[in-house]
Amino acid sequence: MTAEACPHVRFRRAIERRALWLAEDAARELPKLTLDDALQLVYLYADRNSPKFEKAALRWLERYLLEGRPTLERFAKAAVRLAELEGDATGERIVALPGVPEWSALDDDEWDGGEE
């Protein structure tokens, strides 16, 4: 394993264990978090009711807009879903963000409630 991979492995383990401080520490050592990793950190902030949640969520949305090139509808859905997370941590590990194709476990019909 290379020295470069070590912080990412520590980051993933910290996310899986829901260890916020360890995840932040490992993230600082990474040259750049992927969008997926950054989203997992945002979820962890929400889960821990961290005051860093909103700033991190906004930063993720900025990156998603620039790097993911979503449609307006997908961007709006992602923003709404992140806003719903604040103060609504359920204790379950969140693994997908509906409306964001790269990370979505639900298709758009399920996200929209099946309406056409």
Q: Which two tokens stand for residue 46?
A: 């929400």
In whole angstroms, give the CA distance from residue 48 to residue 105.
23
> Could you list the pLDDT tens digit for every one of the 116 residues in the chain?
454 448 999 999 999 999 999 999 999 999 999 999 999 999 999 999 999 999 999 999 999 999 999 999 999 999 999 999 876 654 444 445 544 544 443 334 433 333 33
pTM: 0.72
Domain boundaries, the chain: 34-111
The pLDDT of residue 108 is 41
Q: Which two tokens stand for residue 67?
A: 């790097």
- Contact indicator for 108, 99 with CB cutoff of 8 Å: yes
Q: Which two tokens stand for residue 57?
A: 């969520």
Q: Please enumerate in sequence order all residues whose Cβ is within 8 A of that of 105, keeping only pairs 6 or more positions apart, or say none.
A: 95, 96, 98
Radius of gyration over every alpha carbon of the chain, rounded to an integer in angstroms: 15
Cβ count within 10 A of residue 59: 14
Per-residue DSSP letter, 93: P
